[in-house]
Structure 1
Amino acid sequence: MTGCDLHRPMVALVAVAALVLSLVQGASAAWSTFITKAAFDQTYFPGHIAFYTYDSLKAAAGAPFTQFGNSGTLDDQKRELAAFFAQVKHESGGLKQKYEQGCNIQCQQSYCASSPTYPCSKTQPPYYFGRGPIQLSWNYNYGACGDYIGKPLLREPSQISNSAVTAFQTALWFWMTQGPHLAKSFSGTTKAINGDIECKGGAHYSEKGHEQMLSRVQYYKSFCSVLGVDPGTDLEC
């Protein structure tokens, strides 16, 4: 076997790696054909704070979240983007908030639950209140999300408020791994996010929660209209 023969497998591996990378990069950006930067800034989140940018969302939507907005038919993809943006708009006030509003020190300290796997940090105050586009909360979510995206969020929760890419990654982690992505309807995404308070039958259901749920539905319908897709059925929970 010649030196050239020995080199061929490596060339092939490099070529395959380049192809895989191009496919992953292409998949992560597929939804950007109908969610442009102009639409993000002017239609979906007008007046959003400078912290949140279209480019930071695109960066966050790379591996391991390449199935976000890329699953099923084109209409399925559009409905998922509309649902995600509707929930983000409700949770973050239209991407105008980095963290939970009106949460005082006592409130911030309350987001610490007993967890053998993800105990609250002892090196700093255990402030695991809502942060990011979908308001990631509680120490066990910070820990699990951090493990998934490879960042020490349990030890350094403020990373979410300091990096827009990280902030969007936390939203995508919840969306893709905690139920919304696999939901069969928009109501399913709301149940996964705040069903205990906003959906009938929830342990802490209230009229105020019901109003919040209806607000999410209106955002979703509006975004579906912009994308030219039928919102489907089973929107309220």
Structure 2
Amino acid sequence: MSGEERANLVQECLRRLHDIGVQTVSLTCDGPSCHLSMFKALGALISPSNMSPSFPHPSDENLNVYILLDICHMLKLIRNSFASGGLLKNGNGEIIKWKNLVDLNNLQNSEGLRLANKLRSSHINWDKQKMKVNLAAQVLSNSVADALEFCCDVLKLPDFQGCKATVEFIRLFNNLFDIFNSKNSFQKGFKSPWREVNYNYWHPYLETCYTYMYISQLTDTSGLLMTSTRRKTGFIGFLVAIRIF
């Protein structure tokens, strides 16, 4: 089924829901190319340089329906891109290395100790369990970033020197995933549900140009923007979520 055919079905569903008094405010899906084509056919724009992640409601042009790419799926795609390529570059040209995570896992295995993180060989050999969200979330986590910093700054191990860019990458996606995946009313910080009382905590993090520009400027080792590669979907998915909120 083409993207245009899917768009027609979505519009028909929206009309029927509207007819019985249901107001649809958002549309969420995962990231195959046919869904990206569907968004385009509906009227949403998802180019990083021209982002408008909504489209007019077919029954009321004064209403917008916002699009979202499932953030759990997007996190797995980010992990897949990072691990498969092995290297990324941030906007400053600094190298983000999957090898830092491999080295951390090897160190922990050899020492028989864990630096307060859940990193295991199953996280490194993720391709056999690529659908498990928890493996991606535990890799791109603050606890792993903390362990890398400890190895670099405190233990001063040679294998971890120059891992600051990797730490920054991991922390950013950890925080974004916490914000967009908040679900427990008792959680604190970025994991807490969005409420008016904590609006001034999470919203400035999304509103700053830093998070959006950081992802927009990530490249592969050849200098090609990740949002322009075959593995663009995960990065675009996070940009869409940032723009909406």
TM over 0.5: no
- TM-score (structure 1 length as normaliser): 0.29
- TM-score (structure 2 length as normaliser): 0.29
Whose relative contact order is higher, 1 or 2, with alpha carbons under 8 Å and at least 6 apart?
2
